[in-house]
Amino acid sequence: MSSDVQLASVYTEEQKEIRIGVRRRSAGSYVLDASLLVLSFLMLSPFLWIISTSLRLPKDSFSLPPAIFPTDFNFNNYAEVFNRVPFADFIGNSLKISLLIVVGHIFISSMAAFAFSRISFPGRNLIFIIFLAGLMIPGQVTIIPQFILISRLGLIDTHWALILPALINPLGIFMIRQMMMTISSTYDEAAYMDGASRMWVFLKVILPMVFPAIAVTSVMTFIANWNDFFRPLIFLNTFEKMTLPLGMTVLTGTFGSGNLSAILAGVTLSLVVPLLFYIFGQKYLVEGITAGGLKL
């Protein structure tokens, strides 16, 4: 009987310790959630201000003290964006250029990564290191030889002037190659023993395994070219061929005298497509970036 009482007391003490631990973990989780909520609000506050200002009346954009939320919702600012500039054409141009760059870049980068990770040839690692050295060269340094080459090819004021130089990016090759290095060579050997060709191994065996790295590279490449302002400013002259970042400068008006609410309405609309791409690829970001640093 005494042993039962002792067991009951021990069981009761364990229950108390578990309850105290649960309470402590719950309190800590509440503090963590509150901290993350505050940080999320601070990070999202610029976007909230952009959306809020895009819905204000133009006269309320510079009111003091500034209001967080608009008092009168004015959706005419979004209509003004399409009335003042061919906004749909700008979106189409940016979407066309960015998607073609992503497709070509993934095709070239994945094949180069396969060569650097799965094919043994003399000087492979040295060539790869020299290739990565291109990451240290700013794009502004190479813009003059690019312009000379593009002009001699007769591609000035065409979208190909933006697409062709952007197809090769050492960062994309590096990320895909690093994930391929984590794949065991037994997959290749088994496929070769079954009579598979090198291209079949690349397309059917290795490429599906590195989809997270491809997704991350695709998102990064798309957003970088979607937001690019410098190269379209150099290569494009015709108003109808301009990309979204370049064409939206018309909304600012002469000496920046444009309607701020309409400008931020255009900015809000320009965020929709990159946001969709990010939502599609965000679950692969951590996996792809982590795998990219496992083996060099």
Name the strand (E) or helix (H) holding 282: none
Distance in Å from the first CA to the final CA of the chain = 66
Give 185's contacts (C-beta < 8 A, 6+ positions apart).
Answer: 118
Residue 8: predicted pLDDT: 47
Structure tokens at 171: 């960062």
Question: How far is residue 231 from each of residues 54, 99, 148, 274, measured CA to CA in Å?
Answer: 28, 16, 13, 19
Q: How far apart are CA 213 and CA 223, in angstroms?
A: 16
Instruction: Walk along the chain (296 residues) in steps of 10 and give the mean pLDDT of each run.
Output: 49 54 61 84 84 78 70 79 86 92 93 89 86 83 90 91 90 88 85 86 88 86 90 89 86 67 84 80 62 46
Residue 120: predicted pLDDT: 85
Q: Estimate to the nearest angstrom the gap between the alpha carbon of 218 and the chain centroid.
A: 7
pTM above 0.85, yes or no: no
Q: Please give the single-letter amino acid code of residue 239.
A: F
Residue 295: predicted pLDDT: 43
Residue 66: predicted pLDDT: 66
- Residue of 247, 271, 237 lying closest to 159 (CA atoms): 237
Give 242's contacts (C-beta < 8 A, 6+ positions apart).
Answer: 90, 93, 232, 236
Dihedral through CA 116, CA 119, CA 213, CA 109, nearest 10? Answer: 60
- Residue of 284, 272, 276 lying closest to 54 (CA atoms): 272
Contact 267, 54 (CB under 8 A): yes
Contact 207, 110 (CB under 8 A): yes
Check the CA dihedral 110-115-117-118 and report its sign. positive
- Residue of 94, 115, 112, 93 lying closest to 104 (CA atoms): 112
User: Which residue reads 């690692």 in tokens?
Assistant: 125
The domain covering 81-292 belongs, at the CATH homologous superfamily level, to MetI-like (1.10.3720.10)
Contact 220, 146 (CB under 8 A): no
Contact 291, 218 (CB under 8 A): no
Strand segments (E) across 178-271: none
